[in-house]
Amino acid sequence: MTVSTESELDWVLVLAPFRRDADYIAALLQEEQIEVMASELDSELVKHLDRSPGMIVITHEALNPTVFAQIGAHLAGQPDWSEVPIIVLLERAAPLARIRGQLEGSWPGARVLFYTRPITPLELVNGIQSNLLVRLRQREVRDSIEREKELRLELNHRVKNILASVQSIFQMTKRGAATVEDLASDFSGRLKALSNVHAAVFEAGGEEVRLSDVVELTVSPYNGEGVTRIEVTGADMVVSRDAGTTIALCLHELITNAIKYGALSRPEGHVALVWAIAADGPREFSLSWTEIGGPPVREPTRQGYGTRYVRAALGSLFGNVPDIVFAPDGFRCSVRGPVERISAS
């Protein structure tokens, strides 16, 4: 027979061949909304054990070599976290010492509890419920271990990605540095930009981050004391961690270039940073960087690290090569692409 009700507790397998004991136990547990399944002592037992009962209740009459072997094989195949409680209901005259020895030999290390009949309904139900709660705690420990494993794997993956990014940044910075001082300064700045984005993502608590937070962390060191050198305009939106990291690093390169050679190298110079999502047609994201009030711009004879990185990184992120213009009245950089390429979903 089977009694199926909704409960957070596990289900109970009953082995009780005589005197309608199985019906009696099932009726008691049904009142407590605990699922019960009674099994015959034959091949049906193996089938029920394969369904992984939360605990087993077995009467003295059901103890025979076949049952010993079948339950023993089931217990031996349990994962490390699992310890299936087994309640054995004995007759008062049963040879407890001999039965205990048989069970210890057949089910080594098993969680076995003995109750002597006659037993009050309250005592039996309390014993079963207490052990089902133990089983519930075991599953909670299992889930906690699984979550820890997943977190360890995710942490390992992220650390590898961060180290790969740091190595790439260092190699490209080294190729473009003329002196050790330049290498140290540029590399430190790029690491700071990378750190800012990871901090923003961590505070957001997931795999996505607000683009406005990423931009604010990146440009805030250059705005202050009542002076806005980088004017930011854009709708509030959420982007993926990878997109936020790429955009922040590209902004850092554009800021560094503007400080060295462009609009931010002069007190009256400033930058307009604008992003938007197209109001009609396909959902397209656009980002533009426009320098104003800087010295006359001349296109460099060779492409530096910053320009190479921005071109490659934004091109990869948006699927379109950014438009980089060394206009005499001010450097400009713009890019556009489907919103889906930077979204967190």
Summarize pLDDT for 75-92 with one digit per residue, the tens. Answer: 999 998 899 999 999 988
Domain membership of residue 61 (yes or no) is yes
Domain assignment present for residue 170? The answer is no
Q: Are residues 189 and 306 in the same domain?
A: yes
The verdict on 191 and 79 lying in the same domain is no
Whether the CB-CB separation of 247 and 287 falls below 8 Å is answered with yes
pLDDT, average across residues 209-238 = 85
pLDDT in tens, 286-341: 999 999 999 999 888 877 778 888 999 999 999 999 999 999 999 999 999 999 99
The pLDDT value given to residue 178? 79
Total number of domains constituting the chain: 2
- Please check whether residue 85 is in contact with residue 131, taking contact to mean a CB–CB distance below 8 angstroms: yes
Q: What is the pLDDT of residue 39?
A: 85
Q: Is residue 152 part of a domain?
A: no
Q: Are residues 11 and 137 in the same domain?
A: yes
Q: pLDDT band for 225, please (50, 70, 90 cuts).
A: low
Considering only residues 6 and 208, tell me which one the structure prediction assigns the higher pLDDT.
208
Q: What is the CATH number of the domain that holds 92?
A: 3.40.50.2300
pTM reported for the whole predicted model? 0.52
pLDDT, tens digit, for every residue of 22-41?
Answer: 888 888 888 888 898 888 87
Distances in Å between the alpha carbon of 97 and those of 71, 90, 94, 213? 20, 12, 9, 70
The verdict on residue 49 lying in a domain is yes
What is the predicted pLDDT for the residue at 1? 45
* 332 and 245 assigned to the same domain: yes
Residue 214 placed within a domain: yes
Which distant-in-sequence residues (6+ apart) come within 8 Å of 152 by Cβ?
Answer: none
Average pLDDT over residues 49-57: 92
Q: Do residue 200 and residue 311 come from a single domain?
A: yes
Of 124, 142, 160, the residue that ends a domain is 142
Look at residue 160 and tell me if it is in a domain: no
Average pLDDT, the chain: 85
Whether the per-residue pLDDT at 147 is higher than 50: the answer is: yes
Does 30 fall in a domain? yes
Domain assignment present for residue 188? The answer is: yes
Range of the domain at 101: 2-142
Pairwise CA distance, residues 58 & 38, whole Å: 10
pLDDT at 72: 94
Same domain, 196 and 125: no
Q: pLDDT of 229-287, one tens digit each?
A: 899 999 889 999 889 888 988 888 898 888 888 998 888 899 999 999 987 767 899 99
Q: What is the pLDDT of residue 157?
A: 64
